[in-house]
Amino acid sequence: MFALVLLVATLLVYQPAWNGKPIWDDEIHITTPELRSSHGLTRIWTDPAAAPQYYPLLHTIFWVEYKLWDGWPLPYHLVTILLHAILALLLFQILRRLNVPGAWLGAAIFALHPVHVESVAWLSEVKNTLSSAGRRGNVGLPEIRQRSTTYGLLSGVRPFRCWSDDQDRDRNFTDRAVDRFLVETRKAGLGARL
């Protein structure tokens, strides 16, 4: 029940962004005409200069989204908002695993706090939400890290990661705070199960 309430609340809080038009540099990040073909998709992965920044996973997602709904902004926004809501639910699961009192409150604050507006409402900043998904999944799913050779091999290859150490400037304050919290709980022995 909490998951449904949080999902609906997140969709409603970000409702003003639903029909937002592309702003600032969105037009150069969302798949440009020369990258809309299958050859363009290949270039996204093989030519670091094909897009304004070399984020192949991000630009592949933009490529797929453009194929699905052309330039209509609503679905772009809904995908990012839903991904943000899923991240809040994943954070809830992590905090519950750590037996943190008020895990539901932490997840609700993460989902609804206005500090995330830039990352959730600005189309080209979906890379922040994607990198959060990678970090939360990495923390929340240790059994995959331990058992999967493929995960270990691919996580070290830059094109297969949607985040990297040199992209810390793209991380928002809340992500850094949650990461710090998880590190400290592990040090204190509270996160031994993770």
Residue 194 covered by a domain: no
Q: Report the C-alpha gap between 64 and 87 in whole angstroms.
A: 21
Residue 104: which of 112, 15, 174 has the closest Cα?
112
Residue 7 covered by a domain: yes
Question: The domain containing residue 65 runs over which residues?
Answer: 2-187
Q: What is the pLDDT of residue 4?
A: 93
Residue 193 covered by a domain: no
Residue 25 covered by a domain: yes
Residue 7: which of 77, 81, 92 has the closest Cα?
81
Q: Which residue type occupies 179?
A: D
| 8 Å CB contact between 33 and 112 | no
Who has greater pLDDT, 66 or 126?
66
With 0.75 as the threshold, say if the pTM is over it. no
Q: How many helices (H) and strands (E) does the chain have?
A: 11, 0
Q: Provide mean pLDDT across the span 132-142.
A: 59
pLDDT tens per residue across span 8-31: 999 999 988 888 777 777 777 777
User: Is 50 exceeded by the pLDDT of residue 135?
Assistant: yes
Reported as a pLDDT band with limits 50, 70 and 90, residue 45 is very high
Q: Report the C-alpha gap between 56 and 71 in whole angstroms.
A: 20
Domains held by the chain: number:
1
Residue 192 covered by a domain: no
Residue 86 covered by a domain: yes
Q: Report the C-alpha gap between 192 and 194 in whole angstroms.
A: 5
Q: Report the C-alpha gap between 60 and 62 in whole angstroms.
A: 5
Q: Name the CA radius of gyration of the chain, rounded.
A: 17
| 8 Å CB contact between 145 and 81 | no
- Looking up tokens 């029940």 gives 1
